[in-house]
């Protein structure tokens, strides 16, 4: 074993585990360090000897057949796929919303609700017409009163003018 303080880095280098940036420096070190050069050679020989042990062929190929025992159920596959997909979840939500809108748009209103609405509208119309009539009557009354006051004022002014005319005529 190398007594050099870079022995572990040397082994990392030998197994291609030294960061790429440190490899050139290590190569320069190996070129000048006899211990590390000898250690690297021994490591290479040892691993080469280990690799003499060949890989064996598997005596029997492994294969699986489609068997329901080993498969997740169709339901669990569906829900597994459903919850794992944001797109599917979003599409399903949009479908539910669309169905709710269509159902609410085409559902006929109950008969008693229509009658209630018509009664309410008729009551409102009657109330508004009554208010209009009251306002018209009040307006006519007010107009008559103002007209009478105005005519009285005209009469007063006419009388004053007549008095002034008579007074000036007497003076001449």
Partner 1 sequence: MIFRAVEDGDLISRVRKGDVEAFNLLVSRWEKRVFNYLLRLTGNPDDSLDLSQDVFLKAYQNIRKLDDTARFGPWLFRIAHNETYSHFRKRRPEVDNGDETLIEREPARGPAPDLTIAVTAALDRLTPEQREAVVLKVYEGFKFDEMAQILGTPVSTIKSRLYTALDLLKTELAPTSSRGNDRGIR
62 touching partner 1, by CB under 8 A = yes
Q: Under a CB-based contact definition with an 8 Å cutoff, are residues 88 and 81 in contact?
A: yes
64 touching partner 1, by CB under 8 A = yes
- Report 124-163 residues binding partner 1 (CB under 8 A): none
Q: How far is the CB of 95 from partner 1 (least distance, A)?
A: 22
73 touching partner 1, by CB under 8 A = no
Q: How far is the CB of 92 from partner 1 (least distance, A)?
A: 19
70 touching partner 1, by CB under 8 A = yes
61 touching partner 1, by CB under 8 A = yes
User: DSSP letters along 122-141, please?
Assistant: HHHHHHHHHHHHHHHHHHHH
Q: Write phi, then psi, for 137 (nearest 5 degrees).
A: -65, -45
Q: How far is the CB of 90 from partner 1 (least distance, A)?
A: 20
Q: Under a CB-based contact definition with an 8 Å cutoff, are residues 83 and 89 in contact?
A: yes
Assign 109 to helix, strand or coil: coil
User: At which residue do the structure tokens 């007497």 appear?
Assistant: 170
User: At which residue do the structure tokens 């979003």 appear?
Assistant: 90
16 touching partner 1, by CB under 8 A = yes
Q: Cα(13)–Cα(33) distance, rounded to whole angstroms?
A: 14
167 touching partner 1, by CB under 8 A = no
- Report 20-59 residues binding partner 1 (CB under 8 A): 41-59
Q: How far is the CB of 54 from partner 1 (least distance, A)?
A: 5
Strands (E), 61-156: none
* Residues forming the site for partner 1 (CB under 8 A): 1, 8, 11-12, 14-17, 41-66, 70-72, 77, 80-81
């Amino acid at each position: 074993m190398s007594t050099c303080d870079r022995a572990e880095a040397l082994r990392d280098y030998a197994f291609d585990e030294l960061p790429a940036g440190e490899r050139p420096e290590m190569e320069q070190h190996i070129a000048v360090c006899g211990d590390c050069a000898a250690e690297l050679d021994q490591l290479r020989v040892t691993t080469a000897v280990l690799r003499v042990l060949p890989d064996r062929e598997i005596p029997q190929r492994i294969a699986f057949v489609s068997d329901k025992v080993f498969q997740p159920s169709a339901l669990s596959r569906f829900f597994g796929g459903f919850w794992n997909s944001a797109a599917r979840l979003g599409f399903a939500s949009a479908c539910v919303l669309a169905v709710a809108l269509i159902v609410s748009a085409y559902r006929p209103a109950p008969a008693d609700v229509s009658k209630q609405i018509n009664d309410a509208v008729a009551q409102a119309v009657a109330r508004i017409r009554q208010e209009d009539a009251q306002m018209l009557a009040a307006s006519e009354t007010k107009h008559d009163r103002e007209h009478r006051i105005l005519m009285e004022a005209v009469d007063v002014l006419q009388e004053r003018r007549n008095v002034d005319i008579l007074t000036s005529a007497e003076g001449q």
